[in-house]
Amino acid sequence: MCPPALIPFKPVNPKTRLAALLSQEEREQFARAMLEDVKAAVKDAMLSPVLACSELFDSEDVQVTITDTDLNGTLNAILPQNIGTVMIIMADLPLADAVSIRRVTSTEKDMAIVPGRGGGTNVIYLKEPGKFHVDYYGTSFLKHMKIAEEAGLSVDVIDSFRLHTDIDEPEDLVELLIHGTGKSRTYLEGLGFALSVDKGRVGVMRNR
């Protein structure tokens, strides 16, 4: 049995910071494409994806439902129920691949963590989930490092730009169009997005 990879996911009106570029329906489809990329990567790394959704949606995945406002409470209720290892990985990491995820799961420490851009936490991997609790939002990376220290857990900070790069802002789409290899890149390109270079700065443009 593969260990679970919990993936928090918001199927309705996600990624609002991309609203200037994508309609709500497009953002929902884009978020699903990114989720598919993350699921493919964790499966390739021999983990079993479990969606932690803000509401049920039509998919064949194992799902647990969370209330949109209580990600922390829901995850902290789940963690002690697991006796084996657990990963928590965000759904907006379309550059994730099996190699980067295996760097996380092969840690020799009690846990591994991958910081997100801007102080967030993109991946947590716990060998003894009951000894840890999550505290997402804000500078969650620093909070999680402190929680680990207080719990006496040794921590590996995994140095990966593939797992560090969460897609939140329009400029993040540049990374996906350069380094992506999965469904979310294909989806964006299908909408007409391409790289643009203006005065040496690289951005994205939408051609149709």
Taking the complex as a whole, the smallest distance from the CB of residue 159 to its own copies amounts, in Å, to 5
The H or E element spanning position 53 is: strand 48-53
Residue at token pair 């697991």: 82
**Closer residue to its own copies in complex, CB, 110/175:** 175
Radius of gyration of the chain, Cα coordinates, nearest whole angstrom: 17
The verdict on 102 binding its own copies (CB under 8 A) reads: no
* Cα-based distances in Å from 168 to 22, 92, 94, 180: 12, 8, 11, 15
Binding mask 143-182 for its own copies (x = CB under 8 A): ----------------xxxxxxx-----x--xx--xx---
The verdict on 200 binding its own copies (CB under 8 A) reads: yes
Taking the complex as a whole, the smallest distance from the CB of residue 71 to its own copies amounts, in Å, to 12
**Closer residue to its own copies in complex, CB, 119/130:** 119
The verdict on 46 binding its own copies (CB under 8 A) reads: no
The verdict on 138 binding its own copies (CB under 8 A) reads: yes
First to last CA, the chain: 46
* Cα-based distances in Å from 16 to 12, 143, 162, 169: 10, 25, 22, 9
Q: How far apart are CA 153 and CA 150, in angstroms?
A: 8
The verdict on 201 binding its own copies (CB under 8 A) reads: yes
Q: Which residues are near its own copies by CB under 8 A?
A: 99-100, 103, 115, 117-120, 137-139, 141-142, 159-165, 171, 174-175, 178-179, 195, 197, 200-202
